Amino acid sequence: DAGVIQSPRHEVTEMGQEVTLRCKPISGHDYLFWYRQTMMRGLELLIYFNNNVPIDDSGMPEDRFSAKMPNASFSTLKIQPSEPRDSAVYFCASNHDSYGYTFGSGTRLTVV
């Protein structure tokens, strides 16, 4: 079991550019979550999916953010256009039952 795999680990981009973060959940996990971590706001849930369907996207900050899960083994979080305030660590997590949520290593995004 390779765990939840996120890419890239680090991303530096210029303001206004499009950024795509990727996540591969653990095989067999039917829930996938995207979180954002900042010093000011802590860990915030952005969106989560069940069986590839978005269930709750109330945490998505604004229309610049979008997330997709085209199949059970892949999800993307896209920011277009990116802004400096989007700089954060973005975590993906997956889950099968309600007891074990496994997090990826995170993507550290810096928008300059």
Partner 1 sequence: AQKITQTQPGMFVQEKEAVTLDCTYDTSDPSYGLFWYKQPSSGEMIFLIYQGSYDQQNATEGRYSLNFQKARKSANLVISASQLGDSAMYFCAMREGVGSSASKIIFGSGTRLSIRP
User: How far apart, in whole angstroms, are the C-alpha atoms of residue 74 and residue 96?
Assistant: 15
User: Would you count residue 7 as binding partner 1 (CB under 8 A)?
Assistant: no
Please, which residue, 82 or 106, has the CB nearer to partner 1? 106
What is the footprint of partner 1 within residues 77-106 (CB under 8 A)? Answer: 89, 91, 93, 95-103, 105-106
The answer to whether 67 contacts partner 1 (rule: CB under 8 A) is no
Strands 31-38 and 19-24, by their bridges, are unpaired
Near partner 1 by CB under 8 A, which window of 16-24, 40-48, 69-77, 78-86? 40-48
Distances (CA, A) of 35 to 4, 64, 84: 13, 16, 18
- Which residues of the shown chain bind partner 1 in the complex (CB under 8 A)? 31, 33, 42-43, 45, 48, 50, 55-56, 89, 91, 93, 95-103, 105-106, 108
